[in-house]
Amino acid sequence: MRYKFWLIPISLMLLLSGRISGQSFTLRPTAYETGAGGPFSEPALAYDDNFTSASVGTAAVVGQGHKGGDSATEIWYGFPSAPPGASGLELNISSSASIGHGGTAVLYYSTDGGSTFQQIYLYLIGSHPQSTVSVSLSSSQDLTKIQVKAQVTELSDGTFAASSTYSIYEVWISGTT
């Protein structure tokens, strides 16, 4: 009976010191900036922990006979550092797109603070329902250097009018300690 009372304080000390592992965590960006082209609407919706609201980029070429293009680009960054002992790190992005004739939607990420970006995917013509893509990160990755860039583009040779939209619902990093 005497030993039962010691288990509670010892377990509590281990929990508070972070020695009990397997606890999941979520980190979200805290900032955004507009890249080349126009902005996405309400960029903070991409990290509001709500999978029904989205930051939306729209690119449109209005009216037949109008040659040219339009684009919108947004970059999310400002992730906090990983907690001590973090592992199983994944960058996650939930998005959807509706791409018109001549349009594209591209998703990139950077691990070096935006010096270089790697493409995650490229959407072409058509409707792409909401889905989540995950990218594995090294447990030694400095999460403060992670950036996510979304870009939607529409181009026309003047023989058609079209528009494309790209919705970013959530951006987050998950892992365990």
Answer yes or no: is pLDDT of 5 > 70.
Answer: no
Answer yes or no: is pLDDT of 9 > 60.
Answer: no
Please tell me the predicted confidence (pLDDT) of residue 20. Answer: 52
Quick one: pLDDT band at residue 65, thresholds 50, 70, 90? low
Please tell me the predicted confidence (pLDDT) of residue 10. Answer: 40
pLDDT, mean of residues 45-68? 85
Q: What is the set of domains in the chain, with CATH numbers?
A: 21-176 (2.60.120)
Report the half-sphere exposure of 134 (CA within 13 A, side-chain side). 8
Query: 163 and 56 in contact (C-beta within 8 Å)?
Result: no
pTM: 0.83
133 burial level (CB within 10 Å; 0-12, 13-18, 19+): middle
* Strand, coil or helix: 90: strand
